Structure 1
Amino acid sequence: MTTSTRRRKKAAPKTFKAAYNILKTNAAELQQQDEPDIDNLMTTVEESISAYRVCEARINAVQEALDAAFAEETSSSTDS
């Protein structure tokens, strides 16, 4: 009889910080393994992709907000 060591897939993170922590944790776990944990690899990859997408979306949103803020600042300073 074999026992499964599969981890349950976690819910997608809601914040950049939570997503970033998942990426850091998963990266550290993968680096510390002497042998790949094939039973949990797909779960780790799926969690990491989900977390990456949250981080990417937040970074893009901040970049867009900064671009808009600088564009407004530039246009208002040239209107003077």
Structure 2
Amino acid sequence: MSTPTRKRKKAAPKTFKAAYDILKTNAAQLQQQDEPDIDNLMTTVEESIAAYRICETRIKAVQQALDAAFAEEDKTENTHS
């Protein structure tokens, strides 16, 4: 009887692109499975949650920076009118 192979937990991604690539890869693997890989499911889910949080944090930071930039631009335009 062979022991199930477990995926090793990867280091948390450092960039949006790396995190997004993990999400894409994990989603594709899950969609391509005829039968769920229960032995590795928790590792895949944990990895995906960590990657999602990186993406979410980065998107929020960019949105805040854009909001601040547009607010500053609006102030500048209103003072020159």
TM-score (norm 2): 0.96
Deviation at 1:3, TM superposition (A): 2.2
CA distance in 2, matches of 1:4, 1:31: 21
SS of match in other structure, 2:13 = coil
Output the CA distance in 1 between the equivalents of 2:44 and 2:2: 21
Gapped runs of 5+ residues in structure 2?
none
List structure 1 runs of 4+ shifted beyond 6 angstroms.
none
Q: What is the aligned-residue identity percentage?
A: 79
Which consecutive residues of structure 1, in runs of 5 or more, have no partner in the other structure? none
Give the residue type in structure 2 aligned to 1:61.
A
> Could you say what the CA RMSD is over the residues aligned between the two structures, in angstroms?
0.6
- Partner in structure 2 of residue 44 of structure 1: 44
Matched pairs, number:
80
The equivalent of 1:18 in structure 2 is 18
Instruction: Report the counterpart of residue 64 of structure 1 in structure 2.
Output: 64
